Structure 1
Amino acid sequence: MTNIKAHAPAPVDLEGDLASLRGDCARMAPHWTAPERAAARPVAPSLIHGVDVPPASARMLDAMCDYGD
């Protein structure tokens, strides 16, 4: 059996406040890298399909009021 031990550089504060959370994020930021932004490619219309909704679900949704009613 492998015993893997992880050591946190700072104690974990589960009851911390926003300042503590921001500090944790600032310490972790150098470890994160953002991927190169890829240009959005157009999607061929033949790859776009509709949504199939079962009849029972369609009836349920039809019976629901619209948002904001």
Structure 2
Amino acid sequence: MPNNIAPRESETTLAELRGDCAQMAPHWVVPTKVASTPVAPSLIHGVTVPPASARLIDAMAEYGD
């Protein structure tokens, strides 16, 4: 995207987004059991978040608040 063009705000409202999700819910397959193994905190290291991803998440705060 050229620098002289501002990003456009989403035209979808939160209510519309929730409605779309509700329509799709019957189509989603839910696994009967999710097997997950805990990871020791000592094994988690070197996690980095690219600046563009951090900005994307920061811009989505209205959906998470």
TM-score range, shorter chain: 0.3 to 0.5
TM-score of the superposition, structure 2-length normalised? Answer: 0.36
Higher relative contact order (CA 8 A, sep 6+): 2
Q: Rg: which structure is higher? A: 1
